[in-house]
A and B are shown apart, each in its own frame.
Chain A
Amino acid sequence: KAGVTQTPRYLIKTRGQQVTLSCSPISGHRSVSWYQQTPGQGLQFLFEYFSETQRNKGNFPGRFSGRQFSNSRSEMNVSTLELGDSALYLCASSLGQGALGFSPLHFGNGTRLTVT
């Protein structure tokens, strides 16, 4: 079974630009979560999608948005990039919330975004 695929692996953008990151989940997983990881703030939850619906959103400005398609693939977009948006962006897929709690997350290797 193929793992979670994130593209691109590395990205360099300039302040003010926008960027779109892509995530292909494990087949059969309908939940996709996004995280931002920086040395200072650690792993910060961005949002979670299930069957094309955003069910939870972290404390990030409206410049951060996402969506999920009918095949469960997901994209996240950051507009008007700032230097502080430089981070490793991680996508994770799972079976989602079940009766016994949230299922384990399967992470991709992330997209390293550098904003100059």
Chain B
Amino acid sequence: SQQGEEDPQALSIQEGENATMNCSYKTSINNLQWYRQNSGRGLVHLILIRSNEREKHSGRLRVTLDTSKKSSSLLITASRAADTASYFCAPAGEGGSNYKLTFGKGTLLTVNP
């Protein structure tokens, strides 16, 4: 299945520091998406990077994609306590046969004030 695996499983940093989390996947993709989930709530879409893109920015978020290594990274700069959440990547496979996004266990980010 086209599931991403996030690494590390947990990350604890101080407010103002940068946070980097990684995602690996196994098969070819059309795009890769990152989501955030605050405890007990639904996931929120953060950013989508297409397979022909190498880097994308959105506010304090920077996503990179290396299709040769089948990996992606999400960098959150100048983190805030409000960034405390679980982060998930979702590789979107090629073709129309999947009709789904699957998620790994996520990275639990804790930003300490």
Is A114 an interface position by the 8 A CB rule? no
Is the beta-carbon distance between B101 and A55 smaller than 8 angstroms? no
B42 nearest in chain A by CB position: A107
Is B94 an interface position by the 8 A CB rule? yes
Q: How far is the CB of A31 from chain B (nearest CB, A)?
A: 8
Interface residues on A, range: 20 to 34
Mark contacts of B40-79 with chain A using CB atoms, 8 A cut-off: 1 yes-contact digit, 0 otherwise: 1111110010110000000000000000000000000000
Mark contacts of A98-114 with chain B using CB atoms, 8 A cut-off: 1 yes-contact digit, 0 otherwise: 00111011111110100
Interface residues on B, range: 20 to 34
- Count, A-B residue pairs, CB within 8 A: 72
Is the beta-carbon distance between B100 and A107 smaller than 8 angstroms? no
Q: Which residues of A contact B (CB under 8 A)?
A: 4, 31, 33, 35, 42-43, 45, 48, 50, 55-56, 58, 88, 90, 92, 96-97, 100-102, 104-110, 112
Is the beta-carbon distance between A102 and B92 smaller than 8 angstroms? yes
Q: How far is the CB of B92 from chain A (nearest CB, A)?
A: 4
User: Would A101 and B93 be within 8 Å (CB), given that A56-B99, A88-B40 are in contact?
Assistant: yes
Q: Within the complex, which residue of B40, B98, B100, B105 is in contact with A42, where a contact is CB–CB below 8 Å?
A: B105
Q: Within the complex, which residue of B35, B40, B100 is in contact with A102, where a contact is CB–CB below 8 Å?
A: B100
Q: Which of B43, B92, B102, B104 has its CB near the most chain A CB atoms (within 10 A)?
A: B43
B50 CB contacts on chain A under 8 angstroms: 100-101
CA A106 to CA B42, docked complex, whole Å: 9
